[in-house]
Amino acid sequence: MAKQPLLLCVLDGWGYNPHSYANAIRTGQTPVWDELIATYPHTLLRCQGESVGLREGLMGNSEVGHENLGAGRTVLQEILFIDKAIDDGSFFEKPAFVAAVERVKQSGGNLHLMGLTSDGGVHSSEKHYLALIDLGARAGLRPDQILFHAIMDGRDTDPRSGAGFVQVVQDHMDRTGYGRLATVLGRYWAMDRDKRWPRTRLAYDALVHGRNTQDSGDLADIEFGVFPTAAAAIADAYATGDSREYDEFMKPRLIAGPDGAPLPRFRDGDALIFFNFRGDRPRQILYPLHRPEFAEFPTGVVPDMTLASVTQYEAALTIPYGFKRERPVNILGEVVSAAGLTQLRAAETEKYAHVTFFFNNQFEQPYPGEERILVKSPPVATYDLQPEMSAFRLAGAVVDNIERFDVAVVNFANPDMVGHTGVFEAAVKAVEAVDKCLGLLLARVRELGGRAIITADHGNCEEMIAYDQVRDAAGKFDYALRIPHTQHTTYNLTPCVLVDDAHRGAELRAGGCLGDIAPTMLQLLGLPQPVEMTGESLLPE
């Protein structure tokens, strides 16, 4: 017998923006969305800063958003308790960090610091990586033993903002007298998470060999330039005028020492601390350094190094780490499972971890009664080339299977992933594709007598031009400027619609946040809300 499912559909990156300019959602043809807003109860939810467990004013992201959605409460994020450890000094006493420094002191090698170098706050923190430079200094390393490998952002920050972030590192080194910038390279290469191994190999080659070892394929012709300073390396990339050389996509550039040769690469006896606090994107570049059985590409002789990370990236990646957050208990998936109900999690590759690992608050295994559908994302260089991504295949798979489940959590990645490209026309197409897919899902849910909550984890595609850079002194838009906006937005609001005929004409509670979704779902399911789940239902009393 078919179920009457409760669907939670997350339109990733579909935020609220009061302005229509460069707003892909308002520009696109979205008849399904327009009908929902006109017909069903809706509200706006807070999705950034303290409302989702981040520093105040810090934009939300997919990982944090899904953790809050799944937990039914505000989930304190790693960035805050690492901040606290730096402030109270316990950061510098973490055994994983101490062991890395001791290895270098004993071997005479180098302490390598690597991670995303920006103030985006999604993957890393400026406060954290500057503290790691201080760690080496406090431990008595020589000033030249600390080497910094800057992974450029341009995705959670403006496309050419990286020069400023790297300058902050250089200024800190100049002020303290410790550390040298050794490499700059884009996150496109060093932080891939979808097993695009040629990209990872290029980053690995830059860090280990100092030369490109690929002799075939699209990347074989790339050469690593050597520059006197990191600032010169970045300026060289920007001078091309080619957005494919800006921060996110910057090809590896090596920094020279006083003798004109590149500063040392990874060597036997060295130590590496990866300072990203979010685990999904460092894993792939660490696998060839950590796993003897790694065979995705030729590595050459892997240096015998001590590895460490700021947080635990995954259980299977058994390297020492400084911090591990305690998982919340009695989260939505756990409560649904304990009640004997079935649940589906479905997404394409880019957001699959979000509806599974992150929605379950960093618990890898499915709960009893939980099944998962993974649809592979298209193998394109950037998603503006295929803005529909795999949305229609995903929608079809959910339509074919949802009748077997009491609860379904589905994520459409397009508004976020295409929004990150900064290509407005593609973002409009992405929005229109998702609107059509949403219509397919809702038609099936209604046919089964089910209900749905439609929301987003954060914003993105509702601002495709950098508003703060295209306004005049009076605050008016200069429409001649077309500076792409590629990061998440900071309006702090995402829409939420309850598609339930029993609640037509009702009003959802205002002032809620993402952590209120799970309590709302439990109320719709008739399940009691655990005391640990401190969010509040959005349904009218």
Checking 215-224 for CB contacts under 8 A at 24+ apart, the result is 222/251, 222/252, 224/251, 224/252, 224/253, 224/254
d(CA 43, CA 157): 28
Task: List the Cα angle 357/14/434 in 5-degree steps.
Answer: 90
**Residue 485, Cα to own-chain centre: how many angstroms?**
16
3-class DSSP assignment, residue 182: strand
Strand partners, 309: 274, 321
At 170, phi and psi to the nearest 5? Answer: -60, -40
- State both tokens at 371: 């099944």
At 169, phi and psi to the nearest 5? Answer: -65, -45
At 214, phi and psi to the nearest 5? Answer: -80, 120
Question: Is 377 noted as a catalytic residue in this protein?
Answer: no
Strand partners, 455: 10, 496
At 496, phi and psi to the nearest 5? Answer: -145, 125
Place of tokens 């004013």: 57
- Dihedral, CA atoms, 75, 77, 82, 85, nearest 10 degrees? -10
Task: List the Cα angle 77/346/489 in 5-degree steps.
Answer: 45
Q: Which residues contact 369 (CB under 8 A, 6 or more apart)?
A: 336, 337, 340, 341, 342, 343
CB atoms within 10 A of CB 275: 26
3-class DSSP assignment, residue 161: coil
Active-site residue, selected from the candidate residues 20, 51, 62, 337: 62
Q: What share of the chain is helix, strand, coil (3-state, %, to 5)?
A: 40, 15, 45
**Eight-state DSSP code of residue 156:** S
- Helical residues (DSSP H) of 108-257, grouped into ranges: 126-138, 162-176, 187-190, 197-204, 230-239
In angstroms, the first-to-last Cα distance of the chain is 32
What is the torsional sign of CA 320, 322, 328, 329?
positive
**Secondary structure, 3-state, 17-57:** CCCCCCCHHHHCCCHHHHHHHHHCCEEEEECCHHHHCCCCC
Q: Which residue in 438, 362, 373, 427 sits closest to 400, CA to CA?
A: 373
Residues with a catalytic annotation lie at: 62
